[in-house]
Amino acid sequence: MLFSAIRRYGQPLTDVALTGAAALLFALSGTAVSVPPAIAQVAPLLVRRRYPAAVLIVVAAATAVHTTAGMARAIGFLPATVAIFTAAAQRDTATRWVLCPLAGLAVSIASAVRHGPVEGFLMAVVMVVVAWLAGVERDEHLRLRLAAAASADRERLARRVHDTLANTVTVMLLQTEALRSTAPLGEADRRRIDLVLAAGRSALAEVRSALADAPALPLRLGFSPPSFSLPERLDLLRASGLRVPDALPPQLDTDLTPPLRDVADRLIGESATNALRHDGPGTRLSVAASRTGGTLTIRIVSSGGRATGAATGGGFGLKSLSQDIRGYGGTLTYGPAGDSWEVVAVLPAA
């Protein structure tokens, strides 16, 4: 509870303390030559995290005006350094690379006019550069901390998957193999068990491959390729009753770069698996591709099963693929189309 309160109120209390300290230093040191610009320098620090760009503009302008009016104490530059530090820590390009240098230049010129090129201009330039570098470094440090936390989360997830899913699939395979070896089964039953074993082994291999790559996986893109190819996956689904054409559109090989071809294979495999899972044996799956300018449109339609395509819905697999495809600059839509289920991907063509 204590740590939760610190996280919730720590930053606002820090800003209040910093603003109060700056105001106290201004008052005790006699820095303020004119009260209005002094207030304009100090008061905006209360909201510097929420409005970093606006606070920097106000504080820098007030500092320049106050310096020109005769502010002689170095403590008068404290609000400007804090504002530059806060703005430089933002990842907004315009704020970091345009606004911060302009604000620093304005303060430096005002200091040069009042105190000369060395004690005025150079001192202000050094102050601005140090504050800017500190802000950029803070942002980089925060980014690395977040990346480390994300990596740790993925590692914990990988361990949990290994301890549950991988072990459970292994037990299922062992029991199924024991059943095949000891039970009196007909030829048709043996073929069904062989299909189950093949699917289970492929799933286990894919889980292990994903776990091996888990610490290196980025947050969005870069899923490792499946441990078995799309033709092998489609052959397994055909043997289970899905009606799939023998050949896929040649544009998948000619018009897509290797990373996008991997995404397309995953999309077709996911759509085929969903079709069989939801609509059952006898479902027809068609895959078509057409190029228009710089894009390739892949259309996958499933129909004719025991359930309507409109009842299948879009699960985690399609949502994950949608994120990947958007990351490459494409789009993915899916949903019912009459009595069928339609998945349409628009990808950048090679």
pLDDT in tens, 322-333: 888 998 889 999
Residues 143 and 191 in one domain: yes
Residues 212 and 239 in one domain: no
Residues 16 and 104 in one domain: yes
User: What average pLDDT score do residues 161-169 get?
Assistant: 63
Residues 241 and 184 in one domain: no
DSSP per-residue string spanning 137-199: HHHHHHHHHHHHHHHHHHHHHHHHHIIIIIHHHHHHHHHHHHHHHHS---HHHHHHHHHHHHH
Residues 114 and 242 in one domain: no
DSSP at 293: T
Residues 213 and 235 in one domain: no
Identify which of 281, 334, 284 has the alpha carbon closest to the alpha carbon of residue 304.
Answer: 284
Identify which of 100, 102, 39, 32 has the alpha carbon closest to the alpha carbon of residue 67.
Answer: 32
- Tell me, what's the pLDDT at 216? 47
50 vs 13: CA distance, rounded Å: 14
Tokens of 44: 């905006």
Q: What is the number of structural domains in the chain?
A: 2
Residues 225 and 187 in one domain: no
Residues 172 and 205 in one domain: yes
User: Phi, psi (5° rounding) for residue 35?
Assistant: -65, -45
Note the pTM of the prediction, 2 decimals: 0.50
The 10 Å Cβ neighbour count of residue 209 is: 14
User: What average pLDDT score do residues 14-23 get?
Assistant: 91
Who wins on pLDDT, 255 or 7? 255
DSSP at 220: S
User: What average pLDDT score do residues 113-126 get?
Assistant: 89
Residues 51 and 162 in one domain: yes
SS3 of residue 73 by DSSP? coil
Kindly state the percentage of the chain with pLDDT values over 70.
82
Residues 150 and 274 in one domain: no
Look at the chain and count its residues: 350
- Please list the residues that pair with 339 across neighbouring strands: none
Question: Of 175, 191, 219, which one is at a domain's C-terminal end?
Answer: 219
> Any idea which of 170-179, 251-260, 281-290 has the lowest mean pLDDT?
170-179
Tokens of 51: 């409005």
Tokens of 227: 């441990």
Residues 129 and 276 in one domain: no
**3-state class percentages of the chain: helix first, strand second, coil last, to nearest 5:** 70, 10, 20
- Tell me, what's the pLDDT at 177? 75
Kindly report the CATH number assigned to the domain that includes residue 253: 3.30.565.10
Question: Of 219, 251, 270, which one is at a domain's C-terminal end?
Answer: 219
Identify which of 134, 115, 21 has the alpha carbon closest to the alpha carbon of residue 73.
Answer: 115
Its domain, for residue 235, covers: 221-350
Looking at residue 98, its amino acid is V
Residue 341 parent element (H or E): strand 340-348
Question: Of 173, 201, 219, which one is at a domain's C-terminal end?
Answer: 219
Residues 227 and 294 in one domain: yes
